[in-house]
């Protein structure tokens, strides 16, 4: 187990230093104050679709760590929302 941990630490260190990072957190960040219900909905959808956009999954329902499942149970989304389609977001959403 120790070799695996050492190898993993080395890979993380190389990745961070290659990006100019000093720790595990990104240097850049932004904060955004949600202005209204529409703004909230746009940001929630951005968060739900982001793993699809990054190529980690094909549909938001495949991401087990997402609040998307709760929204589906509440009837806010169909299970196939975001599957097989590219969703275009306002340029500002997720990049404030």
Q: Give the residue numbers marked as catalytic.
A: 65
CA dihedral 32, 63, 49, 43 (to 10 degrees): -20
Cβ atoms of 93 and 46 within 8 Å: the answer is: yes
Distance separating alpha carbons of residues 84 and 52, to the nearest angstrom? 10
């Amino acid at each position: 187990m120790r070799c695996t941990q050492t190898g993993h630490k080395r890979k993380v260190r190389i990745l961070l230093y290659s990006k100019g990072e000093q720790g595990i957190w990104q240097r850049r960040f932004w904060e955004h104050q949600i202005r209204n219900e529409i703004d909230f909905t746009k940001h929630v959808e951005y968060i739900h679709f982001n793993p699809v956009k990054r190529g980690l999954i094909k549909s938001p329902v495949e991401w087990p760590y997402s609040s998307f499942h709760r929204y589906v149970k509440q009837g806010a989304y169909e299970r196939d929302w975001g599957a097989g389609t590219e969703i275009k977001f306002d340029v500002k959403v997720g990049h404030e």
